[in-house]
Amino acid sequence: MMGKVYLQLWGLIMKKGHVKTGSIIDIVTDPFGLTYNEIYDIIGEPGSKILYSLLYKNISQRESHTLWIRDIFRDAGTAKYIFELPDDKCIETVCIKRKTGMTACVSTQAGCPVQCIFCESGREGLIRNLTASEIVQQVAFLKGQINRIVFMGIGEPLYNYDSLIRAIHILRDRDGMNFPTDGITISTVGPIKPLKKLREEHIKIQLILSLHATAQNVRDYLIPGMRGNDINETVKTALSYSKRHGRKLVIAYLLLPGINDKYSDIRQLVEWFKHENVMVNLLEYNQTNQRIIKRINKQDIERFKNKLESNGVEAKIRVSHGNKIKAACGQLAGKYNRAAQKFS
């Protein structure tokens, strides 16, 4: 039924002669990759308004989308969507319930080139970058429910820079989805070059730096894809982003017993962040099959947090959601992609 309306609308637009050939192909094949203004430039009024609202309402019933929901897993306030891409690869989008709404944890790549040792997404390396449209569609599917977007799903967002920035413009588009800038966060391991580029953009989004270590050798071990990025310069660049945009910088720090929970780690975190507009989010590891690293116990994480706070650094223990449905990034999509490889 909705598909019929879509086709009728196209018939009407073509008859009206608004169409600029070439661009029409973009709209028909990949409408979620365009801003409202771009659609308006191609087909004018009223077609653009009608098309835009048709696109984003009831996306799951439309023929225009290129992602399909392959599975949904739910666990107390958390839902994990496994989306299948046109080339049969899978990604994950996690929807987390908060007191004031829902957060969508969105993927920017299939697989990940960074290969953090604690993360399932990185196990097979990068499969491919997502297009801006594939990033936007993850949000469009959940639109009615969410008021915050975090680019913290599968992939390193800054390694898919152009698609990420384009997707943010489409999401923020005042005449389109009109998602508030305040509600958008990028979580990154902080590759220095694209981080500096992001600092110069005119988009005031929140930044989370996944730091996870205070010494170069420990970071190189935990986050192999960041070797060659000096840890001090990474921190300095992230702080300069926070100053330029007047935003609190969030530091994600996955506490791993015996690896990055020493007194020297506290000392270094205090030295970097004591007088800064920074919050350190302490995370617990979502246990997977991986045996090298272990989950920290409650008392030790509390102790670490108290030490930071008594030395003047704001710190919080972040509650881990959806353990039962393997909500830590990549744990399920990785399984689907590996299974697909086996049978291909």
Binding stretches for ligand SF4 (CB under 6 A): 112, 114-116, 119, 121-122, 154-156, 189, 329-330
Helix (H) or strand (E) holding 43: helix 36-43
Give me the catalytic one of 95, 116, 119, 329: 329
Name the residue with tokens 């990034």.
Answer: 329
Of 51 and 184, which CB lies nearer to ligand SF4 in the complex structure?
A: 184
Please choose, from the candidates 91, 183, 92, 186, the residue with its C-alpha nearest in 3D space to the C-alpha of residue 145.
Answer: 183
Please choose, from the candidates 48, 41, 58, the residue with its C-alpha nearest in 3D space to the C-alpha of residue 10.
Answer: 48
Of 189 and 211, which CB lies nearer to ligand SF4 in the complex structure?
A: 189
DSSP three-state, residue 328: coil
- Minimum distance between the CB of residue 293 and ligand SF4, rounded to whole angstroms? 13
Of 114 and 325, which CB lies nearer to ligand SF4 in the complex structure?
A: 114
Rounded CA gap, 245 and 202, in Å?
9
- Minimum distance between the CB of residue 32 and ligand SF4, rounded to whole angstroms? 23
Of 116 and 250, which CB lies nearer to ligand SF4 in the complex structure?
A: 116
Of 32 and 159, which CB lies nearer to ligand SF4 in the complex structure?
A: 159
What's the N-to-C CA distance of the chain in angstroms? 35
Rounded CA gap, 77 and 167, in Å?
26
- Minimum distance between the CB of residue 187 and ligand SF4, rounded to whole angstroms? 8
The tokens of 27 are what? Answer: 């709209």
Of 34 and 280, which CB lies nearer to ligand SF4 in the complex structure?
A: 280
Amino acid at 72: I
Task: Tell me whether the omega of the peptide bond preceding residue 257 falls within 30 degrees of 0, making it cis.
Answer: no
Amino acid at 203: I
Report the 10 Å Cβ neighbour count for 47.
21
92 in catalytic set: yes
329 in catalytic set: yes
- Minimum distance between the CB of residue 154 and ligand SF4, rounded to whole angstroms? 5
DSSP three-state, residue 186: strand
| Beta pairing partners, 84 | 68, 90
- Minimum distance between the CB of residue 252 and ligand SF4, rounded to whole angstroms? 9
- Minimum distance between the CB of residue 219 and ligand SF4, rounded to whole angstroms? 12
In 57-202, which residue ranges form alpha helices assigned H by DSSP? 132-142, 161-172, 192-199
- Minimum distance between the CB of residue 251 and ligand SF4, rounded to whole angstroms? 15
The tokens of 185 are what? Answer: 């966060």
Of 78 and 210, which CB lies nearer to ligand SF4 in the complex structure?
A: 210
Asked whether 73 and 321 are in contact (CB, 8 A), the reply is no
Asked whether 224 and 267 are in contact (CB, 8 A), the reply is no
Report the 10 Å Cβ neighbour count for 170.
23
Report the 10 Å Cβ neighbour count for 245.
17
Give me the catalytic one of 38, 84, 92, 120: 92
Q: Could you list the active site residues?
A: 92, 329
